[in-house]
Amino acid sequence: MTDSPLRLYNSLTRRLETFTPIHPGAARVYSCGPTVYNYPHIGNMRAYVFADVLGRALRSKGYELTHVINITDVGHLTDDGDAGEDKLEKAAVGGSARDIARHYTEAYWADFRALNCREPAHWTVATAYVPQMIEFAKRIAEKHCYELPSGLYFDTSTVPDYGRLARAATGEGESRIDPVDGKRNAADFAIWRRTPPGETRQMEWDSPWGRGAPGWHLECSVMSGEVLGFPFDIHTGGIDHREIHHPNEIAQNQAHCGSADPGAAIWMHNNFLVDRTGKMSKSAGEFLRLQTLIDRGYHPLAYRMMCLQAHYRSELEFTWEGLGAALTRLKRMVMGTSKFLSRENYSASFDQGAKPAFRREILNGIDQALSDDLNTPMALTIVERLLLPSSSIEPFERWGVVKELDQIFGLRLFDLVRADLRIRPKSATITETEIEAQLVRRKEARSARDFATSDAIRDELAARGVEVMDGDPLEWEWKLS
């Protein structure tokens, strides 16, 4: 696509900045991945839809993308400070931490694919990087760390401007950190957590600081630095990471590189998905999984649409009505697109270069919206205008443009068919063939002006959860509810 300069909001400077790749033509992005002790909730998945859109936008602007997402299978404690237990260790009581991690990693990947997120170039798994973590820690230990009985700690006063990211974000910073006896500064954090004497952990390794496990923050610094090399271009995560996790990564990166460089040029954070009770979180117990939405009959890409409809820096409230509205919007787009596919040779005509000026205009509009800190809500409205039946633009011209745009939105507008987008709860017992047969009978009754039978069929269907939709503008004759 074309060439508005890409402007991204950098949480570190609290400003929109023009993206200037460190290596010309390349974009190297690291996204904090899931902690695999439980299923991801749809809030977590918002973080990956955001990272996916960022990656797609970078590619569309011609950058060669290297994207890394990690899998945290050790080290993330039940508390963001250093007082809690390892989340995986806790979830694996009486079982195997490795099996738990594998199960939830698979579940996360299933959601990731269902949302049509593109595979990153690398999935880095924390437990596969422990030797590198020990090497990293050895390198910074003397100048930046100190030992306590519970492990090796990072002294945050040894790096310039510790917590700049958190303070920039909240005006306070460092507020949620629990004290550990002997810490030099409240914000100091564990690099290596020694296994307490007399205990054994499922996940522990030998190190110069005793047998134990790495700190969570160390993992991301090591995996991003190992795979992408410092400094790299963009680091992403949810806004909860602005407060502790990312400031700590920055401190480690600075210590490792021996400079004030934070390790990544731009730090981007998606805002929360919330529901009426507040931020969706795994530790709160009740949360919505993508599978819950699917079981209720919604296509997963309706949730992707819901995410794209909001700017990634805005809070997004999840409601079932909102999901329904996103589904309807997706349906309209799919139907608009399928009209182009029903005519042959559009693609051939398009490829012969018809009306390049028009094509440029639309693509430039989308490019401008996305270049403005990934303004997906605005970009979607441009696609919609293109799909309007009243649009004076020839269908074959639109075909190629929509095809190109769908590479960025990832809504699979050309693969989905109407039936995919019908709400079909898992609990429904009636089949589509039965419904269709009843509707044929009803049509016949109506043409014979036998309204009693026609109404009876309608009521029978309603009793089995099928709502007949006469005169629906999207031409849906029925839906399951």
Range in contact with ligand AMP (rule: CB under 6 A) among 8-16, 43-51, 163-171, 425-433 = 43-51
Range in contact with ligand AMP (rule: CB under 6 A) among 41-49, 300-308, 336-344, 354-362 = 41-49
In the list Zn ion, ligand AMP, none, the entry touching 220 (Cβ below 5 to 8 angstroms by class) is Zn ion
In the list ligand AMP, Zn ion, none, the entry touching 156 (Cβ below 5 to 8 angstroms by class) is none
In the list ligand AMP, Zn ion, none, the entry touching 141 (Cβ below 5 to 8 angstroms by class) is none
- Contact status: 152 vs Zn ion (CB under 5 A): no
CA proximity to 316, closest of 67, 49, 117, 120: 49
- Contact status: 241 vs ligand AMP (CB under 6 A): yes
Nearer to ligand AMP, 28 or 241 (CB): 241
Interface residue with Zn ion among 77, 180, 220, 255 (CB under 5 A) is 220
- Contact status: 32 vs Zn ion (CB under 5 A): yes
Range in contact with ligand AMP (rule: CB under 6 A) among 8-16, 272-280, 295-303, 327-335 = 272-280
Interface residue with ligand AMP among 12, 34, 188, 190 (CB under 6 A) is 34
Which residues, in sequence order, are bridge partners of residue 154?
145, 189
- Contact status: 340 vs ligand AMP (CB under 6 A): no
How far is CA 394 from each of CA 255, 364, 399, rounded to the nearest angstrom? 59, 19, 9
In the list ligand AMP, Zn ion, none, the entry touching 47 (Cβ below 5 to 8 angstroms by class) is ligand AMP
- Contact status: 105 vs ligand AMP (CB under 6 A): no
Interface residue with ligand AMP among 1, 29, 32, 227 (CB under 6 A) is 32
Nearer to Zn ion, 220 or 334 (CB): 220
- Contact status: 334 vs ligand AMP (CB under 6 A): no
Least Cβ distance, residue 241 to ligand AMP (angstroms): 5
- Contact status: 35 vs ligand AMP (CB under 6 A): yes
In the list Zn ion, ligand AMP, none, the entry touching 480 (Cβ below 5 to 8 angstroms by class) is none
Range in contact with Zn ion (rule: CB under 5 A) among 193-201, 219-227, 254-262, 266-274 = 219-227
When computed from its CA atoms, the radius of gyration of the chain, rounded to whole angstroms, is 26
Nearer to ligand AMP, 71 or 387 (CB): 71
| Residue ranges in contact with ligand AMP by CB under 6 A | 32, 34-35, 43-44, 46-47, 237-238, 240-241, 270, 272-273, 279-281
| Residue ranges in contact with Zn ion by CB under 5 A | 32, 220
